Amino acid sequence: MNKSTTIIFTLLFLLGCSQMWAQDSTKVVSDSVNIKILERYNNRLATIEQQRVADSIKKAELEAQISALKTTDNLKKEELQAQINAINEAEILRLQQKKQRIDSLKQTAKGYAVTGFFNDTLFFLYSKLGSFSPKERAQAINARIEALSENMEFNENSLKIEDSETTTDIVFGETIIMSVTENEALWYDKTRQEIAAEYRVKITDAVLKYKAETSFSTLAKEIGLALLVLIVIVFLIIYISKFFRWTALKIHRQEDKKIKGIKLKDYTLFDARRQVNALLVINRLVKWFVILLAVYIALPILFGIFPWTEHFADTLFGYILNPVKKMLLAFWNYLPNLITIIVIVIVFRYILKGIHFLKDEIAKGNLTINGFYPDWAAPTYQIVRILTIAFMFVVIFPYLPGSDSPIFQGVSVFLGFLFTFGSAGSLSNIIAGLVLTYMRLFTIGDRVKIGEVTGDVIEKSSLVTRVRTIKNEIISIPNSAVMNSHTINYSSDAPAKGLIIHTTVTIGYDVPWKNMYEALIDAALRTELILKEPQPFVLQTSLEDFYVAYQINAYVREANKQAKIYSDLHQNIQDVCNERGIEILSPHYRAARDGNSSTIPSDYLPKDYEAPSFNVKTQRKGEK
């Protein structure tokens, strides 16, 4: 267990180091930009400062000239005093220009930190002094503050403040710790003496705090406290592991008792063994999560004990707290948009409910709209529903997080492009399906003929129409193919007006047509499912060289049973013709009866029927 703890410590330490390295690389880039900004600012201040020095020299010369004049030379004194007043006004203007430049720079420039002993920032420097840049000044002051901690005689009154002509200095004995310039005073809208006093207090407190925290007694207490924390962490990990071992045993013991598996109706999703294994995996994952969480919480406490590692604690807590803060802040900022989206969804939900209610009323026939058929209600509802949902997404889109980002918009355009070109064929079938719905060519269950396919419609989808043939073959026809071919609907008017079925029989001229009419009508009336009213009728469709074509027409209502009706009708035609002594001959079969037996089946012939003999006549030469 101690080995696991060591590995966890190492991983977290490396994670913290990688974060610091990433921060350092970012800091280098920002420092280079900040240096350029401060260089421009200090160059402008240097120009103004040169003018100030020149004006101060000139002012001193003018004051010396005034002192050298006689008391009676008033005109010359007034002239010199006017020049001094002009220099004073220029000095006021110079200070205003400095103040304006500093105010504009405050929004962008970042100062260089003067730090204490544990990376604590005491204050920032923005202005250079002589040949020293702000960064060099900060480094030099840091070194001097660090040297103060080595002086055993240092106390809260060791630092003094001394004024010079252009700076206010903070000194320790004979050493100048730092100098406060006029520019720094203007930066904070204070006097040099006020800024120097604040810096003196901060430096003194930092040195005294370092001395107190690095004393032997303090270090002994911190080491003891750190050992106590480590012991607590180790025992905590041990007891967490024991607790989860106990829960694992409990899970094993409940197999086939409380743990009996998971079933969905008749399907066993997990049997008892699989469920136990799944719970053990979850138990193991929760165990390591709790251990890592305990270590992660304990490490900042451990790092916070020593002042040298105190900033590690802030970094580790920052890994969790900063993302949580960002998420909570982002959620809080997004909350108005989320409420708007919820309101839009609720409004459109009730709109769809209202449309669904109208659909049901029209489909049931309770609500009638002229020119709108009840079977249009369901497909029209689906179209309106899709359009309403699409419009809802259009309304919601601006309120989605990241909807205005170029990446989000690019992905949306790319998906639209894929959908448009990838579904070109499907879209044609969908549009054809909509057209077929409103053309009302057929409904589910109708007997139809689409192109060369004949059968009953069993499904109408947005893409295909499925037909079951009389041989129980399921044929899927794309809706675009249905639109491009002719369609025969046998069932649409059959229940009300009846469907006329017909078949043709060819009979020789030797059979009277009236007898044939009676025979065909009698055969139709014998056929089951053929209607008695309207009565069947016969049409002569052609008079050929060797036969007459008779077409029997009869009314039926069950269009889906045509195959059976036709079969029965053909059987009855043969039976009736045989009963009435009518021979059904092939088109070119001639009834030459000399020695030929009748084609009528023997069951229908008289019992004393005999085939006629074959007669041959001879004629002698010279006889007539």
Q: Rounded CA gap, 41 and 35, in Å? A: 10
Top pLDDT among 103 and 318 is at: 318
pLDDT recorded at residue 615: 62
pLDDT of 55 > 80? The answer is no
Mean pLDDT in residue range 588-611: 67
Token pair in block for residue 594? 């000399």
pLDDT of 20 > 70? The answer is no
pLDDT recorded at residue 44: 59
pLDDT recorded at residue 386: 85
Mean pLDDT in residue range 236-254: 90
pLDDT digits (tens, 9 = 90+) for 254-275: 888 888 777 777 777 777 888 8
Mean pLDDT in residue range 331-358: 91
Q: Rounded CA gap, 466 and 459, in Å? A: 5
Q: Rounded CA gap, 431 and 439, in Å? A: 12
pLDDT recorded at residue 33: 54
Mean pLDDT in residue range 158-181: 85
pLDDT of 38 > 60? The answer is no
pLDDT recorded at residue 503: 95
Mean pLDDT in residue range 22-48: 54
pLDDT recorded at residue 18: 46
Q: Rounded CA gap, 334 and 345, in Å? A: 17
Q: Rounded CA gap, 219 and 225, in Å? A: 10
Token pair in block for residue 364? 């049931």
pLDDT of 13 > 60? The answer is no
pLDDT recorded at residue 52: 61
Q: What is the dihedral of CA 145, 149, 153, 159, to 10 degrees?
A: 20
The values of phi and psi at residue 48, to 5°, are: -65, -40
DSSP line for 169-216: EEEETTEEEEEEEHHHHHHTTS-HHHHHHHHHHHHHHHHHHHHHHTSH
Fold assignment, 496-604? Alpha-Beta Plaits (3.30.70)
Q: How confident is the model at residue 586 (pLDDT cuts 50, 70, 90)?
A: low
Q: How confident is the model at residue 540 (pLDDT cuts 50, 70, 90)?
A: very high
pLDDT of 519 > 90? The answer is yes
pLDDT recorded at residue 619: 65
Q: How far is CA 618 from the centre of its chain?
A: 105
Q: How confident is the model at residue 426 (pLDDT cuts 50, 70, 90)?
A: low
Q: Rounded CA gap, 180 and 206, in Å? A: 19
Q: Rounded CA gap, 375 and 441, in Å? A: 12
Specify the 3-state DSSP secondary structure of 571: helix
pLDDT recorded at residue 22: 45
Q: Which CATH architecture has domain 430-489?
A: Roll (2.30)
Least confident of 123-127, 334-338, 599-603: 599-603
Q: Rounded CA gap, 526 and 564, in Å? A: 14
Token pair in block for residue 129? 């002094």
Query: Edge to edge, what strands does the sheet with 175-181 contain?
Result: 159-163, 167-172, 175-181
Q: Rounded CA gap, 599 and 144, in Å? A: 136
Mean pLDDT in residue range 138-145: 86
Mean pLDDT in residue range 281-285: 92
Q: Rounded CA gap, 129 and 185, in Å? A: 13
Mean pLDDT in residue range 134-159: 83
